């Protein structure tokens, strides 16, 4: 996600801002910029790409001054470019932003009617011009009024042209803190950026507004009254700070899933119905599609397997799912009425990109579900549905998988609407169920400690099986990949009903079996498969709903999930699978974030 740094003090601001942005590079970004009070005006320099590009620009047009704001952008709305880079501003102000303004389209239309024009594709430029529209000389009042007009998550750093030396900040949903030092005061997305200068900081609660000068800090509460903040001391080192206090990026990203799902789903729900209009995909787009072909690799392909079941179940539209490296060599049967959906976190996976190009050669419309804005797959697809998980640093994909599911659920409900398979009322009920389930993912995260204890029983395990039926089967595939790729334990995912056709010969006393039994409709069948492996001595971890009442002797361990519709259980069941693999890898001393032999993005065939 984006990084924000602001400084007002006695030293030159640009050097301190660039150093701070450098400390935030780990968050992932695709462009950067700074605004500084220089020679009595706000001057802004920004550049696409690495920070070095910005540094080069600053060499060409140096900015002298001791108060400024800086930003590294992780693109959400609008591709990476100089124009879309932050800061954004007007004659009155300059602003940097981390988050997503969900109602930016409506606000932009309102502002256009007031005479504003826009040069970028970003929600941030809209936010800056909303603030401009509200500003009548009182910064805090303007910020309060503008914030009240915006829906979604934001952290803003702001300079007002008629307030030299002052930095203002406000947040809702995105992180932002203020830090104090003898040489000046800071705002930043996380304390990593300024640890070399100070460890003294205070946090901002949602809607609180702060004004910093070189030697003062004033905070107003949501009600406009001045408040005192407790000064805290950061006892983290830089590496810990980058992980937000988590021991590994993977665990941090597992815990970011509820927020990532909210950021991805909420902007695509209007009057309770799914819509991709803000993504440039008009309502009615899916109506004439005869078939969907999903293509992806690894975890993204497992998301596609769930997506197939969702779309076929709701829209009664045939869906195929293929591993990209196979699809591209099997001379597939495709027509222009096939919608090809490529799923990719990085948007750079060579096999998936090659499959996309093949589909386009065959005249198929290609829709990409991608997490990295401006990536090659995003640029070459005909349509893009971005996921808003923020940068995924750990090699093992977790939050990207969940938000891919989020988009596929929205797509399944949207297609079902357009195909007349569900009424608007039924679609609203489905959306409500989806959002309720997203909320329940937080309860699943609370099970981390008991799951850690179960995972430690796998410390010496040589081989393990995942079994499940219906939606549980693709989840077993994902759980198996997670466990293999980071703990190096060999394991296999098997359709529970298929085990008896051969593989059950490998089930001997003590062999661990993870049985996924979340599908209410299939529970008796899956439990009969659990009995089969128990009869051969398997040690079973049963993952099922809290409402299930299986015989106690069927399992050695049980993980009970909150209740949700069978359709949405994948959003819940994937979390214990992720945590299981994480803790198994930790107790086996593996390099969790950078597993051996693996890369975050496989850009070779
Ligand atoms: C997931 O944990 C793996 N790291 C890997 O399977 C990954 O999902 C696959 O390489 C696809 O990557 P993409 O989503 O960036 O295309």
pLDDT (0 to 100) of residue 458: 96
DSSP single-letter state for residue 506: G
> Within 13 A of 410's CA, how many CA atoms are on the CB side?
29
| One-letter-per-residue 3-state SS of 163-188 | CCCCEEEEEEECCCEEEEECCEEEEE
Q: Which residues are catalytic?
A: 2, 600
Helix (H, G, I), strand (E, B) or coil at 195: coil
Query: Does 354 contact ligand 1 (Cβ within 6 A)?
Result: no
pLDDT (0 to 100) of residue 428: 98
- The angle formed by the CA atoms of residues 202, 205 and 211, to the nearest 5 degrees, is 60
Contact 550, 527 (CB under 8 A): yes
Contact 344, 296 (CB under 8 A): yes
396 Cα nearest atom in ligand 1:
2
Partner residues linked to 559 by β-bridges: 543
Rounded Cα–Cα distance for residues 246 and 239 (Å): 10
Report the percentage of the chain scoring pLDDT > 70: 99
Rounded Cα–Cα distance for residues 345 and 303 (Å): 11
Determine which residue's CA is closest to atom 9 belonging to ligand 1.
Answer: 298
Give CA 239 to chain center in angstroms: 21
Rounded Cα–Cα distance for residues 57 and 63 (Å): 10
Query: Does 349 contact ligand 1 (Cβ within 6 A)?
Result: yes
Q: Ligand 1 center to residue 395 CA distance, Å?
A: 8
Determine which residue's CA is closest to atom 4 belonging to ligand 1.
Answer: 396
pLDDT (0 to 100) of residue 208: 96
* 399 CB-near residues (< 8 Å, 6+ apart): 253, 254, 256, 257, 260, 389, 390, 392
Buried b (16+ CB within 10 A) or exposed e, 225-261: eeeebeeeebebeeeebbbeeeebbbbbbbbbbbbbb
Query: Does 602 contact ligand 1 (Cβ within 6 A)?
Result: yes
Helix (H, G, I), strand (E, B) or coil at 490: strand
Rounded Cα–Cα distance for residues 453 and 479 (Å): 17
Helix (H, G, I), strand (E, B) or coil at 408: helix
Reported pTM: 0.79
377 Cα nearest atom in ligand 1:
16
In this predicted model, what pLDDT tens digit does every residue of 393-431 receive, in sequence order? Answer: 899 999 999 999 999 999 999 999 999 999 999 999 999
Helix (H, G, I), strand (E, B) or coil at 310: helix
Confidence of residue 174 (pLDDT cuts 50, 70, 90): confident
* 437-463: average pLDDT: 96
Q: Ligand 1 center to residue 392 CA distance, Å?
A: 11
Query: Does 484 contact ligand 1 (Cβ within 6 A)?
Result: no
Closest CA to 323 of 294, 366, 349, 345: 294
Lowest mean pLDDT among 9-18, 313-322, 470-479, 577-586: 9-18
pLDDT (0 to 100) of residue 366: 97
In this predicted model, what pLDDT tens digit does every residue of 344-362 receive, in sequence order? Answer: 999 989 899 999 999 999 9
Rounded Cα–Cα distance for residues 267 and 100 (Å): 9
Assess whether pLDDT exceeds 90 at residue 234. Answer: no
The number of helices, as runs of H, and strands, as runs of E, in the chain is: 18, 27
pLDDT (0 to 100) of residue 77: 77
DSSP single-letter state for residue 309: H
481 Cα nearest atom in ligand 1:
2
| Rg of the Cα atoms in the chain | 25
As given in the structure block, the two tokens for residue 52 are 């070095």
Q: Ligand 1 center to residue 584 CA distance, Å?
A: 20
User: Both ends of the chain: CA-CA distance in Å?
Assistant: 29
Rounded Cα–Cα distance for residues 120 and 108 (Å): 11
Confidence of residue 241 (pLDDT cuts 50, 70, 90): low
297 Cα nearest atom in ligand 1:
11
Rounded Cα–Cα distance for residues 520 and 497 (Å): 16
For a ligand 1 pocket test, name from 253, 323, 345 the mutation site with the most ligand atoms within 8 angstroms of its C-beta. Answer: 345
Q: Ligand 1 center to residue 142 CA distance, Å?
A: 44
Rounded Cα–Cα distance for residues 512 and 500 (Å): 16
Rounded Cα–Cα distance for residues 479 and 579 (Å): 10
Assess whether pLDDT exceeds 80 at residue 281. Answer: yes
Cis ω before 279 (30° cut-off from 0): no
What is the DSSP code string of 437-487? HHHHHHHHHTTHHHHHHHHHTTTT-SEEEEEE-TTHHHHHHHHHHHHHHHH
In this predicted model, what pLDDT tens digit does every residue of 511-547 receive, in sequence order? Answer: 999 999 999 989 999 999 999 999 999 999 999 999 9
In degrees and rounded to multiples of 5, residue 557 shows phi and psi of -135, 155
In this predicted model, what pLDDT tens digit does every residue of 291-332 receive, in sequence order? Answer: 999 999 999 999 999 999 999 999 999 999 999 999 999 999
Query: Does 298 contact ligand 1 (Cβ within 6 A)?
Result: yes
Q: Ligand 1 center to residue 389 CA distance, Å?
A: 14
Rounded Cα–Cα distance for residues 560 and 517 (Å): 10
Cα–Cα separations (whole angstroms), residue 455 to 171, 270, 438, 449, 506: 38, 41, 25, 10, 21
Average pLDDT over all residues of the chain = 94
Query: Does 375 contact ligand 1 (Cβ within 6 A)?
Result: no
602 Cα nearest atom in ligand 1:
10
601 Cα nearest atom in ligand 1:
15
Q: Ligand 1 center to residue 599 CA distance, Å?
A: 9
Query: Does 300 contact ligand 1 (Cβ within 6 A)?
Result: yes
Q: Ligand 1 center to residue 296 CA distance, Å?
A: 9
Determine which residue's CA is closest to atom 5 belonging to ligand 1.
Answer: 298
Query: Does 346 contact ligand 1 (Cβ within 6 A)?
Result: yes
In this predicted model, what pLDDT tens digit does every residue of 113-171 receive, in sequence order? Answer: 999 999 998 999 999 999 999 999 999 999 999 999 999 889 999 999 999 999 999 99
Query: Does 345 contact ligand 1 (Cβ within 6 A)?
Result: yes
For a ligand 1 pocket test, name from 297, 328, 381, 482 the mutation site with the most ligand atoms within 8 angstroms of its C-beta. Answer: 297
For a ligand 1 pocket test, name from 250, 327, 349, 604 the mutation site with the most ligand atoms within 8 angstroms of its C-beta. Answer: 349
Q: Ligand 1 center to residue 600 CA distance, Å?
A: 7
Q: Ligand 1 center to residue 311 CA distance, Å?
A: 22
pLDDT (0 to 100) of residue 575: 98
Helix (H, G, I), strand (E, B) or coil at 216: strand
Determine which residue's CA is closest to atom 7 belonging to ligand 1.
Answer: 298
Strand ranges of the sheet holding 41-48, from the earlier edge strand across to the other edge: 41-48, 31-38, 67-73, 3-9, 184-188, 177-181, 200-203, 232-233
Query: Does 396 contact ligand 1 (Cβ within 6 A)?
Result: yes
Query: Does 352 contact ligand 1 (Cβ within 6 A)?
Result: yes
Partner residues linked to 209 by β-bridges: 170, 220
Confidence of residue 1 (pLDDT cuts 50, 70, 90): low
Q: Which residue has the tokens 């409500």?
A: 432
């Amino acid at each position: 996600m984006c990084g924000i740094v602001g400084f007002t003090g006695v030293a030159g601001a640009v050097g301190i801002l660039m150093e701070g942005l450098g400390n935030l590079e780990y968050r992932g970004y695709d462009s950067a910029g700074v605004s500084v009070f220089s020679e009595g005006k706000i001057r802004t320099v920004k550049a696409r790409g690495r920070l070095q590009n910005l540094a080069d620009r600053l060499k060409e047009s140096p900015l002298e001054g001791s108060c400024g704001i800086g930003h590294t952008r992780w693109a959400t709305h609008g591709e990476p470019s100089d124009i879309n880079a932050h800061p954004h501003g007007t004659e009155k102000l300059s602003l940097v932003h981390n988050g997503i303004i969900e109602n930016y389209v409506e606000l932009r239309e309102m502002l256009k009617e007031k005479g504003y024009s826009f040069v970028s594709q970003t929600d941030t430029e809209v936010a800056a011009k909303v603030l401009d529209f509200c500003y009548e000389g009182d910064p805090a009042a303007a910020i309060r009024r503008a914030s009240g007009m915006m829906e979604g998550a934001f952290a803003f750093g702001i300079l007002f042209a008629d307030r030299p030396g002052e930095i203002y900040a406000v947040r809702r949903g995105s992180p932002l803190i203020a830090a104090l030092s003898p040489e000046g005061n800071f705002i930043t997305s996380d304390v990593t950026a300024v640890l070399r200068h100070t460890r003294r900081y205070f946090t901002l609660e949602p809607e609180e507004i702060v004004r910093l000068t070189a030697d003062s800090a004033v905070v107003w509460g949501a009600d406009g009254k001045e408040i005192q903040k407790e000064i805290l001391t950061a006892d983290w080192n830089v590496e810990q700070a980058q992980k937000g206090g988590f021991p590994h990026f993977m665990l941090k990203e597992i815990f970011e899933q509820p927020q990532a799902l909210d950021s991805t789903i909420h902007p695509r729900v209007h009057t309770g119905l799914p819509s991709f209009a803000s993504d440039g995909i008009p309502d009615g787009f899916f109506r004439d599609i005869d078939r969907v072909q999903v293509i992806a690799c690894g975890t993204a392909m497992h998301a596609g397997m769930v997506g197939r079941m969702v779309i076929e179940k709701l829209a009664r539209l045939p869906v195929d799912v293929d591993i990209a490296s196979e699809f591209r060599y099997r001379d597939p049967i495709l027509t222009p009425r096939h919608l090809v959906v490529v799923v990719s976190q990085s948007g750079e996976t060579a096999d998936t990109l090659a499959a996309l190009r093949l589909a386009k050669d065959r005249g198929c419309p290609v829709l990409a579900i991608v997490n990295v804005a401006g990536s090659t797959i995003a640029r070459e697809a005909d349509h893009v549905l971005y996921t808003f998980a923020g940068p995924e640093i750990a090699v093992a994909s977790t939050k990207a998988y969940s938000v891919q599911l989020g988009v596929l659920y929205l797509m399944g409900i949207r297609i079902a609407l357009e195909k007349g398979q569900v009424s608007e009322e039924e679609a609203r009920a489905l959306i409500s169920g989806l959002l309720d389930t997203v909320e329940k993912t937080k309860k699943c995260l609370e099970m981390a400690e008991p799951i850690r204890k179960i995972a430690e029983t796998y410390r010496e395990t040589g081989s393990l099986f995942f079994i499940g039926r219906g939606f549980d089967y693709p989840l077993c595939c994902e759980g198996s990949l997670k466990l293999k790729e980071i703990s190096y334990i060999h394991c296999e995912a098997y359709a529970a009903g298929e085990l008896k056709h051969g593989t059950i010969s490998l089930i001997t006393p003590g062999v661990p079996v993870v049985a996924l039994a979340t599908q209410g409709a299939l529970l008796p069948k899956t439990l009969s498969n659990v009995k089969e492996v128990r009869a051969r001595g398997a040690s079973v971890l049963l993952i099922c709903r809290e409402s299930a009442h299986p015989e106690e002797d069927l399992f050695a361990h049980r993980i009970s999930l909150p209740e949700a519709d069978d359709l949405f259980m994948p959003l819940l069941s994937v979390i214990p699978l992720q945590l299981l693999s994480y803790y198994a890898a930790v107790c086996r001393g593996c390099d969790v974030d950078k597993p051996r032999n693996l890369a975050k993005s496989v850009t070779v065939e």
